[in-house]
A and B are shown apart, each in its own frame.
Chain A
């Protein structure tokens, strides 16, 4: 009941934020909370996508709720190295964890024992994005999805794709779904660093790339890469001429990439309510909105409150677990 109440309040704030300026969305903390700086743990390195998001949100929440954050990077292990320290911190709301959907697939595969929807309380999700498949801008063997599919069918297993390699990752699960739905066979090459994936496509060492648009925006703007397939329910307006996976005949619900903020389970309700309100209000500040636009995170609805986040996580956990059963991954 409490959560519903918070969610309704957040939604109200969200709607209000779209018409009001951020001066009107000041959020007041429960008595005594926020007098000292909060710690925001980022499980990835300085300067990366998660780090930038954490800093942008820390700034926005400072603006709307007067909070002061100290951002601490604890990178490693695909985001798992930061978890023990987060779990050791007291459940007083002073430690916030930024994390991405990797945590959900890691939980579904049994790599981590903490369920992000149960052992942690999501305050909000503020970046949600979809994946696409890209080819080189000057590729002449295929120029769109139809010609690519024909090429892949004519040369089974010979078409190579630069992708993230971790077994059970969102990328590989989606590609498995796509390949079995369309009857194509693509040789997935595991690249651990994003720069290497992009370099491999541009340098002509692989044929296609699996990625999210915000990460390759500069290559899209310069014409070095172009999308041939969007893996999402409907066509985002920025890519109105690119077909979606459903339109080309692959009928599955697409997994998304999402980033959000968590506190540990056990944090007092009033502090959770306050922090999620602050997050919602921070999301609506002009600076944060500008930040999300620069990351192509405005193309689809990129916000979920606590309840919305729990639903998103639970859906994703179910999809991952179903796919892992089929693929024989994890416990």
Chain B
């Protein structure tokens, strides 16, 4: 506690630190909230400037950007159906329908409060036991357990966001297939990046890096959304969104308290495992909320509980992701890898010694993350009252801006033109997928988890001398695989039963 007070004092008692804190908070939120660019873009842009900063300030800045950026991505998800980052994708499922219904203020309000609650809780957990939690996670979770967790995550989240189970799985499989492009994780053997047909040989250094999820997200969500809206405008079916500013009431939050608590645990747990992070957390949080909710049928149609579930989980994952980074020096995602870089630029290494050598740095970071999450509520409240006015801008003016920013965002990722082409291609594909009931979110989930999952699977198989049953000799991986298998069987069973029920027969005859 006294460490926390010292950290807070260092943060608010020092004008320079406070300035950087506010800059990070606003910057993260701003970059997160503009469709196309995201917190990673901001992180990469300001990296050279951190060289001349004090290391304490630089690390604090990035951790604040991390907190506010994950939240900022929710705003575009809710207002435009364009998630700022993959971890905001499930927020679209209910956030955007709420906007369509004229409840944008409520959806943003829910996202704001839940991001803050998720973030604050995980910051508290992080402050209380970073060292022991990190040590437990690193020992208990080997490649086998990570693979089993990813399998479980896919099994329970596959069908969300699609018209039915089969289309959901097909979307995820398409994502898994796309994840194989590039090089294989074991031997680095090229896959789909070079081939020869008759006498024509093709080889792409670009494709050997695989498809990055950021241009894919921009394409599947931003570009395809612009196309969907354009079609609606030209056919005269587009509804003008109402810009409401109503904030959710405390009673409404109380109704979803269990979902919040569940998502905090899911988010925190997924966050501490290096490499898993916020995306799986958000999808798992959403799918579990849907499973246990009494208003199951409303999910996907503008149910606030859906927004609550995914936003609580993804922000809970941010605090947790700092744990392996600080305690062990192991970054779990792109932004935490940048933070590791900042430590190194200043000649420091995070790890167990950091609590002894740089206690100030650790506690100013913890304090900053805690306060950043709390301040999200205040800033978010202001945003609710202001940002929804963007909806008043006619879409024909908004569309080119979105496309322009998306192009910049795709290019800025690696400074390679191929990412821009991939984005537009994904956009056109996404348009047709959406009009036929397939799920762009499913593809993204498959793409991200496909890369992580294949890497974990191949390592596991090497470690177990290619004995598949080895997964079941370890309790955690065995249980997760079994649960995943059960989830698949039960979802197929439910799908078959519902499609044979009299009601759906009536529906079919109506068609």
* Same assembly: yes
Give A contacts to B, CB under 8 Å. Answer: 45-49, 51-52, 55, 59, 71-78, 80-81, 83-85, 111-112, 157, 160, 165-167, 169, 187-193, 195-196, 198-200, 202-206, 217-219, 221-222, 224, 290-291, 294
For A41, the closest partner residue in chain B by CB is B415
B206: contacting residue among A76, A157, A291, A294, CB under 8 A? A76
A190 touches B186 (CB 8 A): yes
Contact A81 B351 (CB under 8 A): no
Of residues 328 through 357 on chain B, the ones whose CB sits less than 8 Å from some CB of chain A are 328-332, 334, 337-342, 344-345, 347, 349-353
B401 contacts the other chain (Cβ, under 8 Å)?
A: no
Asked if A190 contacts B459 (CB within 8 A), the reply is yes
Which of B43, B187, B351, B416 contacts A46, CB < 8 Å? B43
Residue in A84, A166, A291 whose beta carbon sits within 8 Å of that of B205 in the complex:
A84
Q: Quick one: which of A76, A202, A206 contacts B463, CB cutoff 8 A?
A: A206
Query: What residues on A are CB-neighbors of B415 within 8 Å?
Result: 72-74, 85
Residue among B331, B337, B353, B459 making CB contact with A218, cutoff 8 Å: B353
* In the complex, B478 has a CB within 8 A of chain A: no
B69 at the interface (CB under 8 A from A): no
- Whether A218 and B51, one on each chain, are in contact in the complex, defined by CB atoms closer than 8 angstroms, is no
Could you write out 18 A-B pairs with CB less than 8 Å apart? A45-B337, A46-B47, A55-B345, A74-B414, A78-B208, A83-B205, A111-B190, A165-B188, A187-B462, A190-B458, A192-B455, A196-B330, A199-B330, A200-B143, A200-B459, A205-B142, A218-B353, A219-B329
Q: How many angstroms from the CA of A291 to the CA of B186 in the assembled complex?
A: 33
Residue among A157, A160, A192 with max Cβ neighbours from chain B (10 Å): A192
How far in angstroms is the closest Cβ of chain B from A53? Answer: 10
Give, as a whole number of angstroms, the nearest-CB distance from B136 to chain A.
10
- Chain B residues lying within 8 Å of A190, measured Cβ to Cβ, are 185-187, 458-459, 462
Q: A48-B337, A73-B414, A77-B208 are in contact. List 7 more A-B contacts (CB 8 A).
A: A190-B186, A195-B329, A195-B337, A202-B138, A203-B141, A218-B329, A218-B353
Distance to closest chain B CB from A114 (angstroms): 10
Whether the pair A199, B462 counts as a contact (CB closer than 8 A) is no
Confirm or deny: B44 has a beta carbon within 8 angstroms of a beta carbon on chain A: yes
CA distance A217 to B349 in the complex (A): 8
Q: A52-B341, A77-B208, A84-B206 in contact; A46/B44 too (CB < 8 A)?
A: yes
Q: How far is the CA of A88 from the CA of B1 in the complex (A)?
A: 57
Taken together as a complex, chains A and B put the C-alpha atoms of A59 and B340 apart, in Å, by 20
Q: Is the CB of A80 within 8 A of B341?
A: no
Q: Contact between B351 and A222 (Cβ–Cβ < 8 Å)?
A: yes
Q: Are A218 and B341 in contact (CB under 8 A)?
A: no
B342 and A47 form a contact (CB under 8 A): yes
Check B347 against A205 for contact (C-beta < 8 Å): no
Among B212, B339, B352, the most chain A Cβ lie within 10 Å of the Cβ of B352
In the assembled complex, which residues on chain A have CB atoms less than 8 Å from the CB atom of B51? 55, 59
Greatest chain A CB density within 10 A among B139, B141, B328, B350 is at: B328
Asked if residues B416 and A78 are in contact (CB atoms below 8 Å), the reply is no
Residue B324 lies at the interface, judged by CB distance under 8 Å to chain A: yes
Q: Point out the residues of chain A lying under 8 angstroms from B141, CB to CB.
A: 203
Q: Which residues of B contact A167 (CB under 8 A)?
A: 187-189
Q: Does B209 contact A (CB under 8 A)?
A: yes
B47 touches which of A47, A221, A222 (Cβ 8 Å): A47
Interface residues of B (CB under 8 A from A): 43-44, 47-48, 51, 138-139, 141-143, 182-183, 185-190, 193, 205-206, 208-210, 212, 274-275, 324, 328-332, 334, 337-342, 344-345, 347, 349-353, 414-416, 455, 458-459, 462-463, 465
- Interface pair B205/A77, CB less than 8 Å apart: yes
CB-CB under 8 A from B189, the residues of chain A are 167
Known A-B contacts A74-B414, A81-B209; the reply to A218 vs B351 at CB < 8 A is: yes
Report the Cα distance A85→B185, complex, angstroms: 25
CB distance from A4 to the nearest CB of B (A): 34
Shortest CB–CB separation between residue A301 and chain B, in angstroms?
22
B43 to chain A minimum Cβ distance, whole angstroms, is: 7
Q: Report if A81-B187 is in contact (Cβ < 8 Å); known contacts: A76-B209, A202-B328.
A: no
B328/A199 in contact, CB under 8 A: yes
| Residue contact B414 to A76, C-beta cutoff 8 Å | yes
Q: Is the CB of A77 within 8 A of B183?
A: yes
Asked whether A51 lies within 8 Å of B341 as measured between CB atoms, the reply is yes
Q: Bound complex: CA of A195 vs CA of B351, how far in Å?
A: 12
Chain B CB within 10 Å, residue with most, of A76, A85, A157: A76
Question: Among the listed B143, B183, B205, B349, which residue makes an inter-chain contact with A205, where contact means beta carbons less than 8 Å apart?
Answer: B143
B382 to chain A, nearest CB (A): 31
Cα A52 to Cα B47 in complex, Å, equals 10
Across-interface contacts of B458 in A (CB, < 8 A)? 190
Chain A, Cβ-Cβ closest to B335: A47
Write the nearest CB–CB distance from B152 to chain A, whole angstroms. 20
Question: Would you give the shortest CB distance from A71 to chain B, in whole angstroms?
Answer: 7
B274: chain A residues within 8 A (beta carbon):
195-196, 199
Known: A46-B341, A76-B209, A165-B187. A71 touches B48 (CB 8 A): yes
B331 and A195 within 8 A (CB): yes
How far is the CB of A47 from the nearest CB of chain B, in Å? 2
Residues of B within 8 A of A205 (CB): 142-143, 463
Task: State whether A81 touches B416 (Cβ < 8 A).
Answer: yes
Cβ-closest chain A residue relative to B351? A218
Q: Is the CB of A198 within 8 A of B337?
A: no
Q: Chain A residues near B462 (CB, 8 Å)?
A: 160, 187-190
Contact B459 A222 (CB under 8 A): no
Known: A205-B143, A294-B347. A224 touches B416 (CB 8 A): no
What A residues does B414 contact at CB under 8 A?
A: 73-76, 81
Cβ contacts under 8 Å, B183 to chain A = 77-78, 166
CB closest residue in chain A, given B193: A77
- Residues in B with CB closer than 8 Å to A73 are 44, 414-415
A118 → chain B closest CB, angstroms? 18
A169 adjacent to B188 (CB under 8 Å): yes
Minimum C-beta distance from B349 to chain A (A) = 3
A187 nearest CB neighbor, chain B only:
B462
Contact in complex: A219, B351 (CB < 8 Å): yes
What residue in chain B is nearest A109 (Cβ atoms)?
A: B188
Q: Which residues from A are CB-within-8-Å of B275?
A: 193, 195-196
Q: For A112, list chain B residues within 8 Å (CB).
A: 205
